[in-house]
């Protein structure tokens, strides 16, 4: 009777069948039956065989040494005549394949991550940033021109001999002398008006409805460019000519000499406008 016979008795006493033990231990029934009967032909490599024996011993609370000694004697006896059967369990092959695929997936993910980091770094180094358009402050509108001829205080007529003095006023000349004095007063007013600043021939008022770039020049002065924002207003005065260029034709409303001008054009379109020669 082999050492495994006592294990069989213990299993039967527990009310377990070979199939029950096989399900619980996840060991093929043929190996459990071989342990109980002491038949070791066709067993796998030594490391798996000893594992089956120890697992069965723990399940039955038995000492594994007697069965292991019997198995080792069989292996040593057969070592010179016939090599033991090398069996590789199917689960080991499956785990090996899974491990290989997992390694390939991880390597591919690492390569994709490195490529993404490299592309992000390259894009930040090569794509130029758009230049920032400087904001030019809008010059305040000059004060309206005042006709000095209208502001000149009235000069009383000179006291000419022979004139009559009216009640409550200066003496008035009579006859031809009165006409001469009136002509002198009119000539003096004209001279006073010629000496003061003249009213400009063109007054162009711009009022921004949207953010618009403006470039304008008047007469022979140096052109000016500016950024108008909604609500900004500027007045351009000139004697002979005005040149105007808009970066957003629909962003500005204009009046010329107090008369509204038609729209310059569509939104986002560049428009050039000229007044005078």
pLDDT digits (tens, 9 = 90+) for 251-260: 899 999 999 9
Question: Is 65 contained in some domain?
Answer: yes
For residue 228, the SS3 value is: strand
- The answer on 262 and 231 residing in a single domain is yes
Predicted pLDDT at 131:
63
Predicted pLDDT at 36:
87
Positive or negative: CA dihedral 155, 161, 164, 165: positive
165 in Cβ contact with 171 (< 8 Å): yes
Mean pLDDT calculated for residue range 9-26: 90
Question: Is 59 contained in some domain?
Answer: yes
Instruction: Quickly tell me which residue has 């428009």 as its tokens.
Output: 271
Question: Is 45 contained in some domain?
Answer: yes
Query: Using H for helix, E for strand and C for coil, what is the string for 72-108?
Result: HHHHHHHHCCCCCCCCCCHHHHHHHHHHHHHHHHHHH
Mean pLDDT calculated for residue range 113-127: 82
224 in Cβ contact with 216 (< 8 Å): yes
Total number of domains in the chain:
3
pLDDT band at residue 38 using 50, 70 and 90 as cut-offs: confident
Whether the pLDDT of residue 27 is over 80: the answer is yes
pTM given for the model: 0.31
Question: Which residue would you say has higher pLDDT here, 220 or 138?
Answer: 220
CA distance 114 to 221: 60
CA distance 53 to 48: 9
19 in Cβ contact with 29 (< 8 Å): yes
Both tokens of residue 251? 């962003």
CA distance 69 to 187: 147
Instruction: For residue 52, give its domain range.
Output: 5-79
Q: Which of 195, 211, 233 is the last residue of a domain?
A: 195
Whether the pLDDT of residue 167 is over 50: the answer is no
Predicted pLDDT at 160:
37
Mean pLDDT calculated for residue range 225-250: 91
CA distance 185 to 88: 132
Question: Which residue would you say has higher pLDDT here, 212 or 198?
Answer: 212
CA distance 31 to 206: 102
CATH code: domain of residue 53: 1.10.260.40
CA distance 56 to 270: 93
Positive or negative: CA dihedral 47, 52, 58, 62: negative
CA distance 186 to 161: 21
Pairing relationship of beta strands 202-208 and 241-246 according to DSSP bridges: unpaired
pLDDT digits (tens, 9 = 90+) for 42-78: 888 787 888 898 998 898 898 989 888 888 888 888 8
Residues forming beta bridges with residue 235, ordered by sequence position: 205
Cα 148 to Cα 5, 176, 181, 259, distances in angstroms: 138, 30, 22, 25
For residue 195, the SS3 value is: helix
- The answer on 212 and 185 residing in a single domain is no
In whole numbers, what is the pLDDT of the chain averaged over residues? Answer: 76
Q: Which of 24, 46, 79 is the last residue of a domain?
A: 79
Cα 33 to Cα 1, 27, 38, 74, distances in angstroms: 14, 11, 8, 16
Both tokens of residue 37? 């009967």
Whether the pLDDT of residue 202 is over 80: the answer is yes
Q: Which of 161, 195, 229 is the last residue of a domain?
A: 195
Question: Is 106 contained in some domain?
Answer: no
Mean pLDDT calculated for residue range 213-228: 89
Whether the pLDDT of residue 221 is over 50: the answer is yes
């Amino acid at each position: 009777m082999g050492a495994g016979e006592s294990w069989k008795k213990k299993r039967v006493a527990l009310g377990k069948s070979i199939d029950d033990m096989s399900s619980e231990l996840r060991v093929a029934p043929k190996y459990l039956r071989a342990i109980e009967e002491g038949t070791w032909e066709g067993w796998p490599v030594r490391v798996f065989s000893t594992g089956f024996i120890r697992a069965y011993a723990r399940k039955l609370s038995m000492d594994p040494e007697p069965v292991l000694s019997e198995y080792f004697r069989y292996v040593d006896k057969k070592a010179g005549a016939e090599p033991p059967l090398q069996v590789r369990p199917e689960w080991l092959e499956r785990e090996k394949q899974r491990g290989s695929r997992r390694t390939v997936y991880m390597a591919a993910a690492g390569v994709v991550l490195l490529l993404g980091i490299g592309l992000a770094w390259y894009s930040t180094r090569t794509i130029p940033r758009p230049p920032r358009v400087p904001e030019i402050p809008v010059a305040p509108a000059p004060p309206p021109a005042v006709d000095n001829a209208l502001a000149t205080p009235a000069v009383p007529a000179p006291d000419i001999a022979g004139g009559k003095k009216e009640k409550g006023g200066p003496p008035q000349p009579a006859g031809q002398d009165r006409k001469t004095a009136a002509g002198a007063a009119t000539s003096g007013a004209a001279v006073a008006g010629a000496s003061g600043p003249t009213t400009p021939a063109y007054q162009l008022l711009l009022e921004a409805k949207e953010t618009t770039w403006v470039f304008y020049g008047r007469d022979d002065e140096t052109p000016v460019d500016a950024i108008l924002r909604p609500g900004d207003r500027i007045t351009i005065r000139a004697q002979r000519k005005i040149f105007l260029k808009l970066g957003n034709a629909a962003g500005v409303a204009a009046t010329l000499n107090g008369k509204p001008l038609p729209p310059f054009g569509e939104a986002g379109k560049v428009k050039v406008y000229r007044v005078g020669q």
